[in-house]
Amino acid sequence: MNYKILVITPVTHIKNVPEVLKSIGEITFFDDPSLDQVLEIISGYDAIYTNPNKSKVFIGRELLDKASNLKVICTASTGTNHIDVSYAKTINIPILSLTEERSVINRISSTAELAFSLTLASLRHVVKSHKAVLGGEWDYEKYIGRQMNSLTIGVIGYGRLGSIYTKYCNAFDAEVIAYDPYKKINDQGVEQVHQLIELLQRSNVIAIHVHVTEETIGMINKTCFDKMNSDVIIVNTSRGDMVNESDLVSFLKTNQGARIATDVLENEITNRENSPLLEYAMSSDQVIITPHIGGMSLEAQEIAYGHAANRLKNFFKELEIL
C-alpha cells in the first residue's frame, strides 16, 4: 500500500533518513510550515513525521480533528510536549517517540554537551566579551570569570542527560550535587540531596535536566528564585516550560550578577514571540539563548531521526500484516 507521509521538520540533509521515508510511500517534505498550512492539507495524509526543535506546529485537537486519514504520529524526539498526547490517545492515534528507546538515546550526548558548553560560556563571559571585542574593546576587567573546580554545580534531574552532564563537571573537578526524588544516586563524584531547597541554596550553577510532566511545568518559580544565590547561573537544556519566565526576569532584574543560559523558551512552539525572557534578552547581557540546538549535532540527528524513520516504516509493515 502506498502511504502518504507529511514530514514537517527538515530531514533531507540527514544521511539515509529521506531514503527510509520514501520507501514507506509518498512523502511530502514541508520544512517548518505554519499550523494553518498544515491544517489545509492534513486530511490527505496517513502519518506525520515531526520534531519539536524546529516547528511552529502543535499537534493538538484542532489539527487532529482535521486529520481524517491519520494513522500515526512519529516524532524524532524524547519529548512530546509538541503533541496533545491525551487527545491523540482518545482518538486512537498512536505516537511513536524516542522516550523509551534507551538503547538509541543512550548513544546521544549532544544535549548534555551543549549544557556543559553553556555552563562554561556563562562562567567565562564568552558571548559578552566576544561582542565587546567586535565593538573595539580589549579589556579583561569586566569579564573576570570563575573556574569549575571552585564551584558547586547543582543538577536537577539525574536521568540520562543529567548523569552525562555530571561526568563532564567531574572531569573539571567541580563539586556536584543532584536532586532527583525518583532515583537513588550511587555514582562516584556526585552527592544526592533530598530537598530541592538545599540544592538551590548551595549551588553556584543550577542545570535543569527534567522531563515535561504536570509536576515539573513551572517548577522553577519565584519560590525557587528566592532561595538561589544572587550570582547564580541557571542552565536549561530540557524544556522552557520548567521555568516561569516572568518570575525569572524579575529575579534577573533584581540580581544583576545572576545569569541564565538556555536552549529553550516557555511556550516556544505556540507563543515564542511573546516570551518574557526573549524580550529581556534584547537589552540584557545576563541571558544567553540558543534556538533549541541541544540535540542538533550531525551524529545525534542521524541516530534519532534515522531510528524514528525506521520505527515508522515498521509500523506500516505491521499494519499491513494486521
* Per-residue model confidence as pLDDT tens for the chain (322 residues): 789 999 999 999 999 999 999 999 999 999 989 999 999 999 999 999 999 877 789 999 999 999 999 999 999 998 898 999 999 999 999 999 998 898 999 999 999 999 999 999 999 999 999 999 999 999 999 999 999 999 999 999 999 999 999 999 999 999 999 999 999 999 999 999 999 999 999 999 999 999 888 889 999 999 999 999 999 999 999 999 999 999 999 999 999 999 999 999 998 888 889 999 999 999 999 999 999 999 899 999 999 999 999 999 999 999 876 5
CA atoms within 13 A on the CB side of 5: 28
DSSP 80: -
Distance CA(316)–CA(59), nearest Å, equals 20
Which residues have a Cβ under 8 Å from the Cβ of 85 and sit 6 or more positions away? 95
Q: Cα angle at 272 between 57 and 11, to 5 degrees?
A: 45
Distance CA(207)–CA(17), nearest Å, equals 32
Indicate the length of the chain as a whole number.
Answer: 322
In the three-class reduction of DSSP (H, G, I as helix; E, B as strand; rest coil), residue 50 is classed as strand
Distance CA(210)–CA(22), nearest Å, equals 35
Distance CA(117)–CA(129), nearest Å, equals 16
E-assigned strand segments in the chain? 3-7, 25-29, 47-50, 72-75, 95-96, 152-156, 175-179, 191-193, 205-208, 233-236, 259-262, 287-289
pTM confidence score? 0.87
Which residues have a Cβ under 8 Å from the Cβ of 13 and sit 6 or more positions away? none
One-letter amino acid at 234 equals I
- C-alpha cell belonging to residue 318: 505491521
